[in-house]
Amino acid sequence: MKKSILSIILLCCCLAAFANEPVEVMVLMKARYDRTELCRRAEFHQTRAARRDYVVKELKAFAEASQHDLMVTLKELEQQGLVSSTSCLWSANAISFTATEEVIQMLSGRSDIESITPVKKHQCIPETEMTSEVKDDSRYTIAPNLTQVNAPQVWAQGNEGQGVVVAVIDSGVNYNHVDIADHLWDGGDEFPHHGWDFANDDDDPMDDLGHGTHCAGIVCGDGTAGLRTGAAPEATLMCIKSSNNEGHTTLVNMVKGMEFAVEHGCDLISMSMGIAQAEVSERDLLRHTCEALLDAGIVGVFPAGNEHNLQHLCPIPLNIRVPGSCPPPYLDPDQMVNPGGLSCVICVGSVDENDTVASSSSEGPVTWQDTEFGDYAYNPGMGLIRPDVCAPGVIIWSLKYNNIYDYDYMSGTSQATPCVAGIVALMLHENPELNPAAICQILEETSLKLTPIKSNRTGVGRVDALAAVTAAAEWDGVVQPTVENVTLWPNPADDILFLNVKNDATVSIFDMTGRMVRCERYTGQVDVSQLVPSVYTIKIDDITVRFIKK
């Protein structure tokens, strides 16, 4: 409640500065879907696509029901000309709309609203990434960053990401570039240009900045014009424009882009954008969305950002851009001393051709202790390690947006991110049922280690496409290795669990969303009487077993 009141006070101060002009706001509803129950039900769906469709349907229905009364009020106010542009953000159970100060003050007293905050426009694509000098790419037929991550060895096996739909959310895409034109998502008559433009709210996501086309080419540029730039050159590209021609966007347009991608059947998201110095309410909404994507079985690949040298403006633990600062779908063992919740986010840092970290690549850790999630404490302390992995991001060749036969280069974590996304596409072609946790774990465990433990500069290390795809082919569907010599009984359990482990062993219990619900020393039994009925995972060291709470 304190957070809600503070948000409304700040909003009113903002509104006062604009007299009585309508302002776009975001309302976060109090109602929350029980994620443990949602994931339990989703487990009954055998394929990743079926799970995705089920979770989207459930969250849409939940948002519609919990927002019904407020939506009725907003529709009435629309008829009076006091409200406009109302839109439901189902992934976070939020609503965005434009309204006058009087309307917002009236709504602030509603008991079903958690917070009301103004929607700000952010520079989500750093201007430093858009600068480039004249260089000659004629000596290459394959972009050097792809050779560095061993992508050509995967292609030699016949795997070029065929059949995997990658949604690139950015400044749009020049879908006419010859290197991507023959493997674009077919949106039918409703989406004739292979996606949607949320910056201008129309069906044409044409790139007018260059950043999005460049990133798309790193995912799936096939080399038709002479230079192969894509890690997954035959993946299917869904084009989503969320920023304008200056690289500005709002978190609402970012979330809308992510929701569109999932609703229309993407297999993964590559979004080389993020918000620096985000408000707490913006972080909360983006994390809710990233949790919803995780529950739907969709992994998202996001940049750490390029603010390492700007710590006077974005100091640790706020140096990583959101949503890159959201938790990963898998917690590395090095993180387990300070665990917390999970989301869909694989966060990517940048290295050069020598696997040396780029000077601009943003640095973790981050913390969520000041948000409604209250996890990953930093005081200062460990926090949440960011990034997860790194990839080449210095002088990266890819598609030029204003010449459909030409190439250009850029640098930044924006370029490292789609390289990782392309590798994920290769992994999903090899094993279509990999879930986000498995994808993240495989990427981490197969990366070239750059530090002894997971680092806040380069994560676990630099990704290796061949090693990741090889591991994906052998993956057995278990997020953590389960061994037969650790058992528990009874299973299902009602009140007490017994384990065949030594006393004083650390026993951690996680619910189906990945959130730790218990952590204690084993003393001969574990009391689970206070847990709600569901499926849980118990972790002892690097060993996991599942049990059912009746």
User: What residue segments make up the domains of the chain, in order of their start?
Assistant: 2-119, 140-470, 488-549
pLDDT tens column, 253-312: 999 999 999 999 999 999 999 999 999 999 999 999 999 999 999 999 999 999 999 999
Which pLDDT belongs to residue 36? 86
Label residue 355 exposed, middle or buried (CB < 10 Å: 0-12, 13-18, 19+). middle
Q: Which residue has the higher pLDDT, 503 or 290?
A: 290
Q: How far apart, in whole angstroms, are the C-alpha atoms of residue 215 and residue 245? A: 15
Contact 368, 384 (CB under 8 A): yes
Res. 101: pLDDT tops 60: yes
Percent of the chain with pLDDT over 70: 93
Q: For the chain, what is the mean pLDDT?
A: 91
Res. 24: pLDDT tops 80: yes
Q: Pick from 445, 478, 472, 460: which is nearest to 544 by CA?
A: 478
User: Token digits for 244?
Assistant: 């304008």
CATH architecture observed for domain 2-119: 2-Layer Sandwich (3.30)
User: What mean pLDDT is predicted for residues 385-389?
Assistant: 98
Which pLDDT belongs to residue 525? 85
Which pLDDT belongs to residue 489? 83
Which pLDDT belongs to residue 9? 42
Which pLDDT belongs to residue 2? 44
Contact 170, 271 (CB under 8 A): yes
Which pLDDT belongs to residue 232? 98
Q: Pick from 156, 184, 220, 174: which is nearest to 423 by CA?
A: 220
Measured over all CA atoms, what is the biggest interatomic distance in the chain, rounded to whole angstroms?
A: 69
pLDDT tens column, 152-203: 999 999 999 999 999 999 999 999 999 999 999 999 999 999 999 999 999 9
Torsion of CA 143, 146, 151, 156, to 10 degrees: 20
pLDDT tens column, 519-548: 887 888 888 988 888 878 888 876 778 888
Contact 13, 117 (CB under 8 A): no
Residue 283's contacts (CB-CB under 8 Å, 6 or more residues apart) are: 322, 325, 368, 371
Res. 407: pLDDT tops 50: yes
pLDDT band (50, 70, 90) for residue 336: confident
Residue 509's contacts (CB-CB under 8 Å, 6 or more residues apart) are: 516, 517, 518, 519, 526, 528, 531, 536, 537, 538, 539
Determine the topology of domain 140-470 in CATH.
Rossmann fold (3.40.50)
